[in-house]
């Protein structure tokens, strides 16, 4: 005889969360992910109940053991693509297909930023394990910007016919809670041509394949750092359809956040707690100075050290520490693809960040780049 015990779950308030019968021997629930057929929900205190279905049980009875595991929220790295398009504008696929692609790539979040169109944000898709960040790519002949975190960043028209109208539109979106990224600012086809350098919170320095436009964007970003502006960098694939050289989730932005929620991810991005890598399997980076991480500011004092960590450094890749004074250190021979290192901080530094490059004939190709740690004087 085959013994069969069915399985279901209720939370501490008696709310029914799901039923899997005899199809599953284990299930999970959480705020951002759950077993198929079970509700996604916050884990609240209380006496939760396992629903037991005694389907096929021998006359002598059956001992059943349940193991319960609780994983509390903790800050960790999340991986995602901050720039792609659906068929709601000029993309090939609908959002459901983009979400499946993201899950297949192992991404934790995506931002589908359709051109001047937010209709899809008003009816968001729910995909266990994947956070869809509300986004719109405000697309203008003088520059493109992503508005993150707001379903409808503009109420009437997206049109701006002057610098003042652009600033008013951006200010309105920010007042609604939008985080604003200037996209591919040095692109030959649609560069950022507005005069204002205060209209954005982030700079997309890496758009699609690494190329000259991205190198120029990184140089522009670095120039802003040198001028004293603390503006985080991000990257995104700008994926539209299935053809190369633009490829889904290349590059990705990795974000160190307290949670996978929309608010948690965007807060971390706004703080610069992130870096850009060539793919979901690309180089991993971490940059710390005491309790501070990339994006944070540290008061300059004697004895400061940077703690550097890099992983998945394949042969041919090397790591460089860049500072406001120029290149400060470089590692070319890295055992087992992992690098732990410490570097003393020089008093003249105002910022420091990491870059991973591959030597390709006579030129270098960037494979990862971090946000800086900033050094302030009292």
Mean pLDDT of 200-227: 98
Omega of the bond leading into 6 within 30 degrees of 0 (cis): no
Confidence band, pLDDT 50/70/90 cuts, at residue 2: confident
Mean pLDDT of 277-297: 98
Q: What are phi and psi of 174, to 5 degrees?
A: -65, -40
Residue 154, strand partner residues: none
Mean pLDDT of 122-141: 96
Could you tell me if 277 and 140 lie in one domain?
yes
Could you tell me if 212 and 288 lie in one domain?
no
Between strands 305-311 and 284-289, the pairing is antiparallel
Could you tell me if 291 and 360 lie in one domain?
yes
Domain-located, residue 61: no
337-355, pLDDT tens digit by residue?
999 999 999 999 999 999 9
| Tokens describing residue 185 | 């600012």
The CATH number of the domain where 292 resides is what? 2.60.40
Is the pTM here over 0.75, yes or no? yes
Domain-located, residue 17: yes
Contact 206, 212 (CB under 8 A): no
* Category of 200 on φ-ψ map: left (φ > 0), alpha (ψ -120 to 50) or beta: beta
Domain-located, residue 262: yes
For residue 283, CA distances in Å to 20, 23, 219, 346, 364 come to: 39, 39, 21, 26, 16
Could you tell me if 124 and 206 lie in one domain?
yes
Domain-located, residue 376: yes
Cβ-based burial of 336 (10 A; exposed 0-12, middle 13-18, buried ≥19)? exposed
Domain-located, residue 83: yes
Q: Is the pLDDT of residue 1 over 80?
A: no
Could you tell me if 335 and 300 lie in one domain?
yes
**Residue 296: which domain range?**
283-378
Residue 151: other Cβ atoms inside 10 A: 17
Could you tell me if 253 and 319 lie in one domain?
no
Q: Decide: helix, strand or coil at residue 213.
A: helix
Could you tell me if 171 and 244 lie in one domain?
yes
For residue 368, CA distances in Å to 35, 239, 347 come to: 34, 19, 26
301-328, pLDDT tens digit by residue?
999 999 999 999 999 999 999 999 999 9
Q: Is the pLDDT of residue 198 over 80?
A: yes
Residue 306, strand partner residues: 343
Domain-located, residue 63: no
* Euclidean distance between CA atoms 295 and 233, whole angstroms: 10
Could you tell me if 158 and 88 lie in one domain?
yes
Domain-located, residue 67: no
Cβ-based burial of 143 (10 A; exposed 0-12, middle 13-18, buried ≥19)? buried
Chain-centroid distance, C-alpha 197: 23
Domains contained in the chain, number: 3
CA angle 137, 140, 143 (to 5 degrees): 85
Could you tell me if 364 and 377 lie in one domain?
yes
Domain-located, residue 220: yes
| Tokens describing residue 148 | 């993150």
Could you tell me if 162 and 235 lie in one domain?
yes
229-276, pLDDT tens digit by residue?
999 999 999 999 998 799 999 999 999 999 999 999 999 999 999 999
* Euclidean distance between CA atoms 147 and 137, whole angstroms: 6
Contact 306, 288 (CB under 8 A): yes
Q: What is the pLDDT of residue 363?
A: 86
Could you tell me if 33 and 92 lie in one domain?
no
Q: Is the pLDDT of residue 173 over 90?
A: yes
The CATH number of the domain where 237 resides is what? 3.20.20.140
Could you tell me if 106 and 210 lie in one domain?
yes
């Amino acid at each position: 005889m085959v013994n069969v015990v069915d399985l279901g779950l209720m939370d501490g308030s008696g709310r029914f969360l799901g039923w899997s019968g005899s199809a599953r021997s284990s299930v999970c629930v959480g705020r951002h992910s759950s077993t198929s057929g079970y509700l996604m929900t916050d884990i609240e205190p209380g006496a939760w109940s396992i629903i037991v279905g005694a389907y096929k049980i021998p006359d002598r009875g059956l001992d059943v053991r349940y193991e319960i595991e609780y994983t509390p929220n903790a800050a960790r790295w999340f991986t995602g693509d901050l720039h792609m398009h659906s068929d709601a504008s000029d993309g090939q696929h609908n959002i459901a297909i983009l979400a499946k692609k993201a899950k297949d790539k192992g991404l934790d979040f995506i931002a589908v930023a359709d051109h001047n169109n937010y209709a899809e944000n008003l009816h968001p898709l729910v995909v266990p394990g994947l956070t869809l960040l509300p986004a719109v790519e405000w697309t203008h002949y003088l520059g493109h910007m992503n508005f993150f975190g707001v379903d409808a960043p503009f109420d009437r028209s997206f049109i701006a016919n002057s610098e003042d109208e652009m600033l008013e539109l951006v200010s309105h979106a920010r007042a609604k809670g939008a985080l604003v990224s200037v996209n591919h600012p040095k692109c030959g086809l649609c560069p950022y041509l507005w005069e204002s350098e205060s209209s954005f919170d982030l700079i997309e320095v890496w758009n699609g394949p690494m190329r000259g436009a991205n190198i120029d964007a990184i140089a522009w970003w670095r120039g802003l750092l040198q001028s004293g502006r603390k503006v985080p960098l991000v990257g995104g694939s700008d994926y539209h359809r299935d053809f190369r050289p633009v490829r889904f989730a290349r590059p990705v932005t990795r974000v160190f956040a307290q949670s996978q929620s929309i608010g948690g991810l965007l807060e971390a991005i706004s703080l610069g707690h992130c870096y850009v890598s060539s793919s979901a399997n690309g180089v991993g980076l971490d940059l710390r100075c005491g309790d501070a991480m990339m994006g944070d500011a540290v008061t300059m004092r004697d004895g400061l050290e940077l703690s550097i960590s890099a992983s998945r450094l394949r042969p041919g890749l090397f790591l460089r520490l860049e500072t406001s004074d120029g290149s400060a250190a470089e590692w070319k021979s890295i055992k087992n693809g992992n690098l732990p290192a410490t570097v003393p901080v020089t008093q003249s530094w105002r910022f420091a960040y990491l870059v991973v490059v591959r030597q390709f004939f006579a030129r270098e190709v960037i494979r990862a780049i971090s946000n800086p740690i900033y050094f302030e004087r009292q």
